[in-house]
Amino acid sequence: MKPIKKAVFPVAGMGTRFLPATKVVPKELFPVVDRPLLQYAVDEALEAGIEQMIFVTGRGKDLIESHFDLAYELEHTMDSRSKDKTALRGTRLKPGNAVFVRQQEPLGLGHAIWCARDIVGDEPFAIFLPDEFMVGSPGCMKQMVGAYEKLGGNVVCALEIPMEDTPSYGVIDPGYRDGPVTEVKGLVEKPAAGTAPSNLILPGRYILQPEVMRILETQEAGAGGEIQLTDAMAQMIGKQAFHGLTFDGKRYDCGSKVGYVEANFALALAHPEIGADIREVAGKLLAES
Ligand code: UTP
């Protein structure tokens, strides 16, 4: 079994739900308290033993490249003033381990992943949707790599949500269940209300075999007129092992305003330096509202 050493981070979307904030600033660099969403996802990948980070970027996303670069003036000035640089950990990857490819048009998640095909090559790889913020110990991907080492094939993160919310997501048609592991018998992207095969959705972490790239090569547009990763994965079921893992932790959907504000609030409350102040401020705000 080949280990998971590469991860793809699709970051070329338009982020329309956060306009005008995303007119210039990529959604993936929005902070949760003091760390960008994309940095949390890279931290999660590093913790899982992944070495090469492949970012699929697009127009207006150049700041992402700068974030993972050496900020020479900043670091030099901080050094000369003996400032603590711990907060910068993980922002500079080993030379050659941050790779950027361009998706010229946001044609969908499946298309974004396919843009990384030559860099992924013939190995299993991970995918992270950085606006899905996963908090766990160990992290979500580390838990998934553990499951992959036992099960092989393809492992996707699985999450139970209220049935009425399923039309917004890729949904699993489940087979047998064994603790946190669910056999995946089918996948449907954005099912019409009342037609979802379960309330188990795909919240944005995947370990996939490279065959998915060959399927994506000819994948037609699906739900929303976009080339969907879910449709390509669905074609692998039955040919390769395919399992979902319900991860032990908390997920925040930071692609939505409510999920993003919730993540900031939760992490601020749990923060060792500002948690107590935030609790007091929140109490006052709630009393006044
Ligand atoms: P989303 O659907 O959450 O992001 O895609 P979006 O399309 O940018 O957001 P809205 O709906 O307009 O507000 C999940 C991830 O996939 C990337 C996005 O950048 C995001 O990180 N993505 C999406 C691409 O890289 N390319 C695409 O064509 C679509």
Q: Among the atoms of ligand 1, which is closest to the Cα of residue 227? A: 28
Task: Return the pLDDT at 269.
Answer: 97
Task: Return the pLDDT at 156.
Answer: 98
Amino acid at site 52 = Q
CA of 123 to the centre of ligand 1 (A): 24
Q: Among the atoms of ligand 1, which is closest to the Cα of residue 14? A: 8
Ligand 1 probe mutation, 8, 14, 205, most atoms within 8 A of CB: 14
Whether pTM exceeds 0.75: yes
Q: Among the atoms of ligand 1, which is closest to the Cα of residue 131? A: 21
> What is the spatial distance between Cα 41 and Cα 36, in angstroms, rounded to a whole number?
9
Cβ distance 103 to 12 under 8 Å? yes
Residue with tokens 């210039």: 24
CA of 114 to the centre of ligand 1 (A): 14
- Distance spanning both ends of the chain, measured CA to CA: 56
Residue 188 parent element (H or E):
strand 181-189
Task: Return the pLDDT at 11.
Answer: 97
> What is the spatial distance between Cα 242 and Cα 174, in angstroms, rounded to a whole number?
10
Residues with CB under 6 A from ligand 1: 10-17, 27-28, 56, 103, 106-109, 111-112, 129-131, 255
Task: Return the pLDDT at 221.
Answer: 86
Q: Among the atoms of ligand 1, which is closest to the Cα of residue 111? A: 28
- Domains of the chain with CATH codes: 6-255 (3.90.550.10), 260-289 (no CATH)
Q: What is the pLDDT along the chain (289 residues), one digit of tens a residue?
A: 899 999 999 999 999 999 999 999 999 999 999 999 999 999 999 999 999 999 999 999 999 999 999 999 999 999 999 999 999 999 999 999 999 999 999 999 999 999 999 999 999 999 999 999 999 999 999 999 999 999 999 999 999 999 999 999 999 999 999 999 999 999 999 999 999 999 999 999 999 999 999 999 998 888 889 999 999 999 999 999 999 999 999 999 999 999 999 999 999 999 999 999 999 999 999 999 9
> What is the spatial distance between Cα 6 and Cα 99, in angstroms, rounded to a whole number?
10
Instruction: Find the DSSP H helices in 152-274.
Output: 211-217, 229-234, 257-270
> What is the spatial distance between Cα 241 and Cα 154, in angstroms, rounded to a whole number?
6
